[in-house]
Amino acid sequence: MDRPDLQSVSEFLRFELQDELVAIDLETKGTNSADPSSFIAGVGFAHQGGCFYIHLLGASDEVLGYIRKWLIGAKRLTSFNVLFDGAFLQAFTGKWLNWEYDSYGLFKLLSTEGYPTQRWDLGTAQHDLLGWATSNKTVLADALKTEGLTKAEMWRLPAQVLGHYCAIDADAHWQVLEELLTQCGKAEWGAAVLDYHTRLYMTEVKLLAEQQLRGLVIDQQLINACHSGLLTQILATKEAFLQHPLVAPHIIGAQERARDAWIASRPNRWTGQGVQSKNYERWVAREEKALESGAFNINSKPQLADLFYTKLGFKIAKYTATGKPVVDRKVLPYLGEPGKLLSSYNVFLKRRGYVERIIERSAASGVVHPQFNSMGAVSTRLGGSGGVNFQQLFKDPAFLAAFKARPGFKLVQADAEALEPTILAEFSQDKTLLSVYGKDLGIVTTKRDIYLHIAANINALGTEIRKFYDPENPTPEGTKAAKKACKRDRAVAKKFHLMSTYKAGPAKIKEEMELEGIHLSLKEVREIHRDYWDLFRGVLRFEEKLQSMWMANGGWIPSIFGTPIAVADSLLKDINNRFCQYSGHVVLQLWIYYIEVLRQERGVEMYPWLVDGHDDTVWEVPEEQAAAAAQIIDDALALANEELGMEIPIKGPSMIVDNLAEIKCEDYEAWLETRGVE
């Protein structure tokens, strides 16, 4: 319906349909529902009896009111991306609608990853799940080309063209969901999948939409001060690098050689007839380009490799697959003082990009509206969206202090401590992990440092550490003293733990340590590697168990929640991490689910702020209700632990703060002192 009237709308969008499962697809101008310039151009509907489209541009208030009333009363809605469509429709109706399923979330949950060109979009679902020979995407592309429009402008397409495309998308959503529900009905894991999807996943989607629409307040003075500081740091580190006594002679020499070569190529200025020659004019015009060829490009990898390895003589520690020497972010810090300066310069450049995107998105209203992909990976973790990944904000108090609670509000946060290691300890029953994260003599252990504990139990590393740190009975004083006196040995243990967890072998570990200035022979690395895995024999046995389950199940293992974790054969060596990452995030989602249940039951005013940070959750609450909100978070964790029934409980005490820097930055207090704030 391109020009809908109330009669025609009511004939198609009947109130009897409110009890049926109805799929919805939106066509919008813009992708952020919180953007005042964004709006819904039209809505596609699909149900068991067919599909149709209603164009909203130019529709009367009477028609729009009817559609709002129908949507609010609908009992069973679905979409391919409920976070996107749900947020737009919440802005349109003022209500979070009764969304039952998200077919994208189910599709990706039941997928694997690790195969070339693998995708999880609707076109892929149409082809792979529904068996469609062709997709309506081709028709759309042709229509956009004919109209001279970009994909972002597709809302401008004629309503008949846009409506046909949108209605078919809605119908595809409905069919995809029906197929996925059918598969769940046949499978042993089907009940667990639907429980996870409807209870945990859909609750988080609702909270992410609420979070996006409400937004986060950004202190404009602080964020602009952070930007100014970064500009100063970028300029200072660049100049310090270019003028460094080891670097400057080579840069100046290259510039001088380029100028000399240009001057030497000078042709005769005058012809035999006394006229200025064309060759001379071309030579003059070539000056800027010729001199630029000798200029040093601080971002050129070949020029940096030539500078550091050929001219400055640093040892090449890393090569590309084609045999070229590498200069990257991992290598730079170990290429002397010039490398450290250039590394800092690159860090400041990257940080400037984050800050500028936050400024751009918050300048008009002082509020930034975070967007996410509700199923960023098949591990169920979120993905970044909208140009800023709010799960990867860099930890600098000058930056994060700008993310603050509204006046009269507080932030209440809780972090699931050592979430993935705790899950691995629980399920592997590895003695070393249990001694660090599990129960020791009936008391939950929280005082052991995993890296010191590993080093203390490896002969090549433990001699000095054991003078301070007793792995059987560590004390806070001993831990502090060992960290101070045995930095190198702890760093070696940390490198082995982090890399061995992802199945790096001795040669790779040695290469990485060489970059960091830790020099061990390959024989020594092999011995430490052997002793490391002797410590974690329980982890290896658990890995063998998971691999056996994977083989028996035909490519999947059960998560902590009973849902299937599909693992590509190319990623089988990483199966422990797949289990822990997936299960860890499900635990966080279970915690968030109970927070939402208690929020509603107790009537506490609390808003999702950054509700899912992989292993933590942050809410914004009126100051007078902060204690009640903190109690909800603590009680919700107790309910999650009760449902999980693990021997090792997940720990995560809540805290009440004013800004994100207080949560994420250990140097926050020191930063305040530099600003003269007590």
Contacts by 176-184, CB closer than 8 A, 24 or more apart: 176/80, 176/103, 176/107, 176/122, 176/125, 176/126, 176/129, 176/130, 177/21, 177/23, 177/78, 177/101, 177/103, 177/106, 179/129, 179/130, 180/103, 180/106, 180/107, 180/110, 180/129, 181/101, 183/110, 184/106
Walk me through the domains of the chain, giving residue ranges and CATH numbers. Answer: 6-186 (3.30.420.10), 221-355 (1.20.1060), 372-419+582-674 (3.30.70.370), 431-535 (no CATH)
Does residue 367 surpass a pLDDT of 80? yes
Contact 230, 110 (CB under 8 A): no
C-alpha pair distances (Å), 498 with each of 114, 194, 362, 505: 22, 34, 37, 12
pLDDT of residue 608: 98
Among 269-278, 458-467, 610-619, which is the least confidently predicted range? 269-278
Taking alpha carbons only, the member of 229, 190, 171 closest to residue 23 is: 171
CB 596 within 8 A of CB 203: yes
Q: Does position 622 have pLDDT exceeding 80, yes or no?
A: yes
* Residues 51, 24: Cα–Cα separation, whole Å: 10
Q: Specify the pLDDT at position 445.
A: 43
For residue 262, is pLDDT > 80?
Answer: no
End-to-end distance of the chain based on CA atoms, in angstroms? 63
Reported confidence tier of residue 293, pLDDT bands at 50, 70, 90: low
Q: What is the pLDDT of residues 321-352, one digit of tens each?
A: 888 888 888 889 889 999 999 999 999 999 99
Determine phi and psi for 616, rounding to 5 degrees.
Answer: -140, 165
Q: Please report the pLDDT score of residue 294 as a whole number.
A: 58
pLDDT tens string 568-594: 888 888 999 999 999 999 999 999 999
For tokens 């490519």, what's the residue? 555
Q: What angle do CA 152, 158, 164 make, to 5 degrees?
A: 90
Q: How many residues does the chain have?
A: 678
φ, ψ of residue 400 to 5 degrees: the values are: -70, -20
Cβ atoms of 337 and 233 closer than 8 Å: no
- Identify which of 223-227, 293-297, 514-518 has the greatest average pLDDT: 223-227
Q: Which of 43-47, 171-175, 323-327 has the lowest mean pLDDT?
A: 323-327
Q: What is the mean pLDDT of residues 102-106?
A: 95
Question: What is residue 337's predicted lDDT score, i.e. its pLDDT?
Answer: 94
pLDDT for the residue 134:
81
Question: Rounded mean pLDDT of 41-49?
Answer: 95
3-state secondary structure of 557: strand
pTM of the model: 0.90
- Give the span between the Cα atoms of 124 and 120, in whole angstroms: 6
Tell me the C-alpha distance between 449 and 453, whole Å: 6
Instruction: State the average pLDDT for the chain.
Output: 90
SS3 state at 379: coil
More confident: 380 or 17: 17
pLDDT at residue 438 in the model: 81
